[in-house]
Amino acid sequence: MGFSDLILVTPTDDRVLGRKKCADGASGAVDVLKEARIFDSLDDVFEGDDDIIVCGTGMPFDMRLERMPQRYVSPRKFFDELLQGGAATCTRNEEKNEEKEKNIRIAFVFGNERYGMKAEDMRKCDVILGIPTNPKFGSLNLATAVQIIAYDWREAMGGFTSETGCEPHHS
Q: Which domains does the chain have, with CATH numbers?
A: 1-40 (no CATH), 49-160 (3.40.1280.10)
Question: Are the beta carbons of 6 and 32 closer than 8 angstroms?
Answer: yes
Cα three-residue angle 2-58-26, rounded to 5 degrees: 30
- Residue pLDDT tens, the chain, 171 long: 678 888 999 888 888 888 899 888 888 888 988 899 999 999 999 888 878 899 988 665 555 555 566 667 889 999 998 988 855 445 444 444 444 345 788 999 998 777 778 888 888 889 989 887 777 776 788 888 889 999 999 999 888 765 544 444 444
Report the C-alpha gap between 101 and 97 in whole angstroms: 6
Asked whether the beta carbons of 79 and 153 are under 8 A apart, the reply is: yes
Q: pTM, whole model, 2 decimals?
A: 0.76
| 124 Cβ contact partners less than 8 Å away, ≥ 6 residues apart | 42, 43, 46, 54, 56, 109
Helices (runs of H) and strands (runs of E) counted in the chain = 7, 6
| Residue 116 neighbours by CB distance under 10 Å | 21
Identify each DSSP E strand in 3-157 by its residue range.
7-9, 37-39, 52-57, 72-73, 105-110, 127-129
Q: Apex CA 125: angle with CA 123 and CA 127, to 5°?
A: 110
